[in-house]
Structures are given as C-alpha cells and as structure tokens.
Amino acid sequence: MIDIINELTRITQAVSLVSSPKEQVEVMVAEISRYLNVSVCSLYRQERSGDLLLLASQGLSATRPVKIPAGCGLVGLVASSRHPLNLANGLLHPAYFHVADIEEERFTSFCGAPLVSAGEVIGVLVVQGSQEVAFSTQQEAFITTLASHIALIVQQLPSELNPLFASSVLKGLVASEGIAIGSPFFCNLPELKEVGHQLCESVSDELTAWLALKETVLADLEYEKQNLGLNLSGEITSMFEAYKLLLTDSTLHEKVVEGIESELALACALRKAVAHFSDLFQQMDDPYLRARSEDVWHVGNKLYQAHTQASAEPVCSVSEDTPIVLIGDNISVSDIAKVPVSQLKAIVSGTGSRLSHTAIVANALGVPAVMNVSGLSRFSRAEQVVVDGSEGKVLFDPDEHVLRVYESLLSKRLADEKELRCLRDVPAASKDGERVQMLVNSGLLSDITPGLTYGAEGVGLFRTEIPFIASETFPTEDEQTELYSNVFKHYSGKPVYMRTLDIGSDKQLPYFPILGEENPAMGWRGIRFTIDNVQLLVMQLRAMLKAAGEEGDLRVIVPMVSNISELTRFHQVLNDAYQQLQEEGVVCKRSPVGVMVEVPAAISQLKFWARYIDFVSIGSNDLSQYLLAIDRNNPKLTQQFDHVHPAVIAELARVVSTCSQLDLPVCVCGEMASEPVSLILLFALGIRKLSVSSSKIPRLKSLISKLDRQVASEFLAFALEAESTELIRAEGQRLLAEIKHKVA
C-alpha cells in the first residue's frame, strides 16, 4: 500500500528546501518520477487561453518552450475532461498529439491527472513509462491524489513562471497603484538573516559595541527622516518613529544582551534577538501587526549594515533628472531615503505586502509599488524598467512596442491625476446634483494627513482597536486622550465617528489574547467584550469625550450590537463617564451614539433601537460575512466573498428603508463603499454618506459625478431581481464601461 501522506510529506519537505519556484517544480517532478520509478514526470500549467504550458519535466528533452494548444493531445484531454487518463499506449490514442523535439514517442504508457483549484483546472500532472502496460489502480490513485495536493503549490507559483523562457516580466503583489518608467537602482545590502553562528572574543567589548551601534543607528534614522520627510506629510516621519521605537524596545535590547552574555558575537546575537522579536509579531492574527515583523527585520538589517559598515553602499549615483525605480530583496523605509524623492518613481521589493510600511510610504508618496516579487536578481544588469503598480507587474528592458504602450498609459494617468487633484475641494455630487458626503476610514495617525489631502470631509470610522493592538499594554486614558485629540485637531469643525474598541475575532490584543473560542468571529468581540470589561469602556469613553471637548464633533459608534440590552448598558456607561467628567470640571459634551449594522440581527431590531441611537453605520464587511456565512479572511473563499451578492443588496435595501422611516442618518463604512459597482448600488439606495480609505476618495468622487439617480436606480432594480452575484457584477461592469464611454 502506498503511504501517500508520508510520501507527500517527503516531497513537500524536498520542495521546501529550495527557494525559487523554478527549482520547486523541478524538484517536484524529479521526486515523483523517482518514487514511482517512471521514465517521465511532467507538470503542465493551464494558461488563461486554455493552452497547457510545460513548467518542468523529468525525462522529456525539452530544450525550448513547450505549449500544447487548448484541448489538444492527451494532456489537453485530461484538462478538458477534468478526469484522469491511464493508458497502456498513449501513442495509439486518437487524441495523441505529436510535439516536436521532445522525444515523447519513446514513451508508451501514459497516466495524467488534472490539477484542480477552486473548481478550476489549473494544470495537469503526467507520468509516462516505456513499457506498454497501464499504470496499476493503486498508482493511478496515488497520482490523482498527489495532483490535488500539488495543485495548491502550483496555484501559488508566480503566474509568469515558465522556466523555459527567460521571462522579463515579473509579478508581485499590488501595493501602490500607478505606472512608472525609469532606471533601476538595485539596493541589495547584506542581510542579517544570513549571519551564521559566531562567538565573540570579549563580552564586555561586544556589549559596548552594541550600545554604540544603537546610538549610531538612531542618529542615522533621524538624519534619514529629515532627508526624506522634510517636505512630506507626518506619516513618513511616523514610520521613522516606529523604527526608532523598535530600536529602543526593551525586548530587543534584552535579547541582544542575553545573546552576547552567552558569548555570541554581536551580529549573531542580533540575528537571534531580531528573529525572536519578529516571531512575536508573526504569531499575531491581525494582518497589519503580522506585517510589522518585516519592520523588525528592517531595523535589524539596518543595525547589521551599520555594524559591518555596509550601509553607506550602494549610493544612488544616477544623474539628477533620471527617474529611478528602487529595487531590492527587502526594501525598507530607510532604503527609500537613499533616493532623492523627486527622482523616485516606483518601488519594487522582493518581500513585503500591501500592509508593509514600505507600501504605506509608497502610497503616501504617490509612487507605484509592487511587493513580494521573486527573481529580481536575474535582472541586476537591466537598463530600464516599467512598473505597473495596478497590475503588480515589473517589466525589465521591455521592447519598443511594450514601452510605447506604457508610455501612453503613463501620460493618460498623469493627465487623469491632474484632473482628480482638482476634485479635492469639490464636494462629491452626482450629475443630477445629489450630494454625497465623503469621509475617511482611519485608525492610525498616519492616515490623517492623506485623508485631508484627498479631500475627506471628516472621519467616518476611526477604528480605535488599531492603537490598542499596536501597544504593549492597554493604552492609558491619557495616551488615548492625546491620540484622539490629535484627530480632532486635524479635523476641527468636521465630524469624527469614533468606534469603541472592537477587538476579538481577527483583531486580537497581543497582551490580552482571547483564546479557546471555536468560532471567534461569533465570539467575545466588540460590545460584548467591552461590556464585560467595562473599566476599559469607561476609560475609552472618557478619553474620547475629553479629547473632543466642547468643540470636537464626536459621534460614538458601537460595534457588533445584536441586542437592545447592549445598547441600554452602553448608555449607562456613557452617562457615567460623562457624569464623572462633569464632576471633575472637564469641559465636554455628551456625544451622539450610533450602531454598526454588521450583525444581521440588527436589521429587524433597528425599530426597537431607534430611541437609543442617533445614526447608523453599515459595516458591510462583517454584514456580508455573517449574511453569507463566509469568513471574510478565508483565502479559499475570496471569490465567493462578494458584497454585491443579491442577499446583501436586499438586506441593505431593508436597512435603508427602515432608517428612512425612523429618520436615522446612514453611512456605509465597509469596503463596499469604495468599490465602483457597489458604489452605484449604494447611491441608488439613497445612501449619501460614505467612509472609505483616503486614496480612494478622488476616484469615487469622479465616478459619483458621472452618475444620476435614474441610471443608478435601473441598475438597483436589476440587482434586486438578479439571481446571482455574477449577473450583478456583469451588469455593473457594463454600466461602468458605458458611463466611461459616454464621458470620453
């Protein structure tokens, strides 16, 4: 009996020992052919066109790219039938298709199994032998099972991977949109991760060197901050502050000292300490905080480079007016500071994600960024690079034709951006004069400036859990007051909707983990948690009221309400907090209160809650999650998690109609508000208050200006009668194209 699990574990382990996707597929086919003792094992990937591209083969002599046209040959048959095919002699099968130059005719037996991911065939696994005997049932079952496991690995390979082509297009994660063309500047400095085991000669010398190193790097950071941040927003400065905070963190310091005291050399002690510190972040559920583990490595690299005195190199030495694309395996905010801001046109990093600080800075600087791009080192001699931040593509030395296409896209985009900038102070209004209030979603002080830059009319959702998550303990009342005051200071005269702590589920506090819940999304979270920990709620409400004072336009939102008792209890706590402040002589107002409509139970209950609330904020992320019973964070269900599902639209219509009967203002603050197709539906439903990420505001304003009630209502009527999300999406896309066409 074939022990598939053991074998699979062994293959997976062998694959994990190599890092590049090209080597991974090569190891995979080599291991499978060795285990099954067959002459040939090949892996094909199905392209969008349906063609099947040979990714790797053990046994076939492919010296040039091999592509089998869609539906052709035995491989095409396996893909189109979605069914394994086991033949004693494939050469005799009517579907056999001869591919020149791979000497396949030497192999008679054929067994192929489809690679299926999320219901789609993404490739085919084939084994072939030279004897005219079909594979045994057991072998066929093994190949089929293996194929379904391999599908998971193949699905994650970069889409341009074709080991037989020297492709000059690399793909990564979209981190900041836009297009740039420039000269590549490779910034690959020695990495701390690569430091091996080293002992020191003198513990006391090494400790002295560590303290001096920290001081040097702190000074460097300050210098870089000045250099980069001079004419820029406060958020760039805050990134450097975040680095400084990590550098002065006691956990890092203690771990380095512990390492040195156990006689490790400084570099080695530093690697261990940084790895430990970074693991702490890695274990967090919150994706934003997980991404902070990268910052820890950035700071570690910076220390290491200063220690080895490598930080001064490389210097960006291109001439003054050359546009530069900064490229590196692990670009940090400090690396960005190495390039003159006026020349920096794009950032490409081998690691990182949309949530990396590097990506956040790229967004703030308004330059495209693509992260997590593998294979960059192959292009270190390239002379020109195109970065398509919207598609997550990086093209090295593109040919004339491709370059011309991108040049024209770039000039169109620059013209568009100029037009969008003009919209900053123009209120969002439809063609027929319906005004829409555009607010910003925030939670970090670093979002404040961009919100204002993009013309936000207030903060529509301040997610207070983010500062709680980013802290080492519950922030004190004074700390919270200071933070919230800053928000009111920037948004003076504008509404600020602050949500009380919404932790639990995917937002865990590192210092107060909520463990042992089988269904955390339905667990102890939001208002349920804060009512049970009322001391936190009192402290937070006091901080909010104090920060708003008499002038601030504070409106408090209560998250995850499902029951009227939660609201009545909330009011008691708010009254207490207000009363205490009055008695203490603090000048403040009792704020209006609203609820997030995100638990479906809220929809039918709003009529009972109306006397306790002043407004409603629709959290379409959670509302969709609970209505569709699809975890919003489950990567396997990303396709299905779509807020334009007919059931979600129908429930939103119910919320809006209930609120209009009860005279309750409504805002939408989930992701839905910033996506063009759903924006049209929300507009048609009569929603005139939206809260979105800052950078989305100009484009949404532009779209609103092209809408009118008639067109939007027709689409809504269609959506309310549509039986599937796909139909709504298709009609929405058609409508968007029509609107664009009419304007052009």
Residues near Mg ion (CB under 5 A) are 598, 619, 622
Determine if 504 is a binding residue for ligand PEP (CB under 6 A).
Answer: no
Please state the closest distance from residue 362 (CB atom) to ligand PEP, in A.
Answer: 23
Binding characters for ligand PEP, 344-383, by CB under 6 A (x = yes) = ----------------------------------------
Which part of the chain contacts ligand PEP (CB under 6 A), choosing from 378-386, 429-437, 619-627, 724-732?
A: 619-627
Task: Establish whether the linkage from the previous residue to 314 is cis, with ω within 30° of 0.
Answer: yes
CA 451 from chain centre, in angstroms, equals 19
Q: What are phi and psi of 695, to 5 degrees?
A: -65, -15
Is 463 a residue that touches ligand PEP (CB under 6 A)? Answer: yes
Which residue number, 461 or 664, has a Cβ lying nearer to ligand PEP? 461
- Name the segment binding ligand PEP (CB under 6 A); options: 269-277, 473-481, 531-539, 618-626: 618-626
Q: Which span sits near ligand PEP by CB under 6 A: 95-103, 170-178, 567-575, 613-621?
A: 613-621
Amino acid code (one letter) for 74: L
Give the nearer residue to Mg ion in terms of CB position, either 286 or 622.
622
**Closer to ligand PEP at the Cβ: 114 or 504?**
504
Three-state SS for 225?
A: helix
Does residue 621 bind ligand PEP (CB under 6 A)?
yes
Q: In the bound complex, what is the minimum distance in angstroms from residue 638's beta carbon to ligand PEP? A: 16
Please choose, out of 169-177, 232-240, 429-437, 614-622, the segment that lies near ligand PEP by the rule CB under 6 A.
614-622
Q: Number of C-alpha atoms within 13 angstroms, CB side, residue 400? A: 0
CB of 615 to ligand PEP, least distance (A): 14
Q: Which of 598, 642, 675, 731 binds ligand PEP (CB under 6 A)?
A: 598
- CA 302 to CA 221: how far, in whole Å? 9
Q: How far is the CB of 464 from ligand PEP (least distance, A)?
A: 10
C-beta of 373 vs 669, nearer to ligand PEP: 669
Please give the Cα distance from 296 to 291 (Å, whole number).
10
Strand order in the sheet with 393-396: 169-171, 393-396, 385-388, 179-186, 324-328, 344-349, 369-371, 173-176
Neighbours of 329 (CB within 10 A): 17
Nearest to 56 by CA among 18, 83, 97: 18
Quick one: 343 or 441, whose CB is closer to ligand PEP? 441
Contacting residue, 206, 622, 651, 731, with ligand PEP by CB under 6 A: 622
430 binds, among Mg ion, ligand PEP, none (CB under 5 to 8 A by kind): none
- Kindly state the smallest distance separating residue 620's Cβ from ligand PEP, in Å: 5
- Count of residues of this chain found to bind ligand PEP when the rule CB under 6 A is applied: 10
CB nearer ligand PEP, residue 184 or residue 670: 670
Cα-trace Rg, the chain: 29
**Binds 670: which of Mg ion, ligand PEP, none (CB < 5-8 Å by kind):** ligand PEP
Under the binding rule (CB under 6 A), the answer on residue 619 touching ligand PEP is yes
* Structure-token pair, residue 215: 């001081």
> Which residues have CB under 8 Å from 261's CB, separation 6+?
203, 207
Site string for ligand PEP, 651-670 (x = CB under 6 A): ------------------xx
For residue 716, the minimal CB distance to ligand PEP (Å) is: 20
**Per residue, what are the HEC states of 237-271?**
HHHHHHHHHHHCCHHHHHHHHHHHHCCECHHHHHH
Nearer Cβ to Mg ion, position 85 or 673? 673
Applying CB under 6 A, which part among 21-29, 298-306, 530-538, 615-623 lies near ligand PEP? 615-623
Tokens of 434: 């319906």
DSSP calls for 267-301: HHHHHHHHHHHHHHHHT-SSHHHHHHHHHHHHHHH
Instruction: State the Cα–Cα distance between residues 498 and 483, nearest whole angstrom.
Output: 12
Per rule CB under 6 A, is residue 675 in the interface with ligand PEP?
no
We find the least distance from the C-beta atom of residue 655 to Mg ion, in angstroms, to be 15
Distance in angstroms (rounded) separating the CA atoms of residues 656 and 597: 11
Residue 500's closest CA among 532, 451, 462? 462
Backbone dihedral region for residue 455 (phi beyond 0: left; psi -120 to 50: alpha; all else: beta)? left
Please report how close the Cβ of residue 630 comes to Mg ion at its closest, in angstroms: 14
Residue 347 or residue 596: which is nearer to Mg ion going by CB? 596
Q: Around 418, how many Cα atoms within 13 Å sit in the side-chain half-sphere?
A: 6
| CB within 8 Å of 741: residues ≥ 6 apart | none
User: Under the rule (CB under 6 A), what is the footprint of ligand PEP?
Assistant: 461, 463, 502, 598, 619-622, 669-670
